Amino acid sequence: MGFDNIDVAEATRRNIPVSNTPGVLTHATAELAWALLFAVARRLVETDRIMRSGTWPGWGPLQFIGADVSGKTLGIVGAGRIGTAMALMSKGFRMQVLYTKASGQENETLKAELGARRVCLDELLAESDFISIHTPLTPSTRHLFRAETFARMKPCAIIINTARGPVIKEDDLVAALRARTIGGAGLDVYECEPHLAEGLADLDNAVVVPHIGSATSNSRAGMSPAGSQEPPGHAAGREAGILP
């Protein structure tokens, strides 16, 4: 978990300890990124809504055509813990993996396991069919994805954000999705949470979920250590009804 919503300087002044739990949600968030990727690519939310409405007329060969995933190119923006975990999960889909890394260093795990290539952002934007954001929010990454960024992506590209909302300029994303400048978006985080940019909720090529990247029983329990001899968070998770 990040801590960009906390005034660390003020907490320090008041002698209030501040900590986060970055390790416990790595795989949960990476898995959610994949869930969003498939939901957008195969139009799951849109088609679920059609079925529930009772308006589906029956199968047709040109209905709800989505995007293939296997064999495509996955771009990871920020190949840290979560970005690496998400990329490694692509192995079964035989995807080419590109990544950026703020440190400028090679990700030896991704290179060894997937033959992944570290590239500049422009190359990643131009070549990726799916782009998954895993960078922290910093002055240099705020609005990293905006109108000119979307214009450099493939028209079929799908963008996933499970990192920090303000990495995307949300009004520009809405415009790009409406104009089909890009193919779709799957979002777990938002620029002005809990609010969505105007028009985002109306778009069929966007899947929006309420910041649930860490919402698994193990992750939430691990985020709440109970101070007992049990594994960290186990007692808190049991009291909350999410662990036996």
Active site residue 152: no
Sheet containing 96-100: order of strands: 117-118, 96-100, 73-77, 130-133, 158-161, 184-187, 206-208
Active site residue 193: yes
Q: Which one of the listed residues 193, 195, 198, 239 is annotated catalytic?
A: 193
β-pair type (130-133, 117-118): unpaired
Q: 3-state SS string over the chain?
A: CCCCCCCHHHHHHCCCCCCCCHHHHHHHHHHHHHHHHHHHHCCHHHHHHHHHHCCCCCCCCCCCCCCCCCCCEEEEECCCHHHHHHHHCCHHHCCEEEEECCCCCCCHHHHHHHCCEECCHHHHHHHCCEEEECCCCCCCCCCCECHHHHHCCCCCCEEEECCCHHHECHHHHHHHHHCCCCCEEEECCCCECCECCCCHHHCCCEEECCCCCCCCHHHHHHCCCCCCCCCCCHHHHHHCCCCC
Q: Which one of the listed residues 142, 211, 230, 238 is annotated catalytic?
A: 211
Active site residue 143: no
Question: Which amino acids are annotated catalytic?
Answer: 164, 193, 211
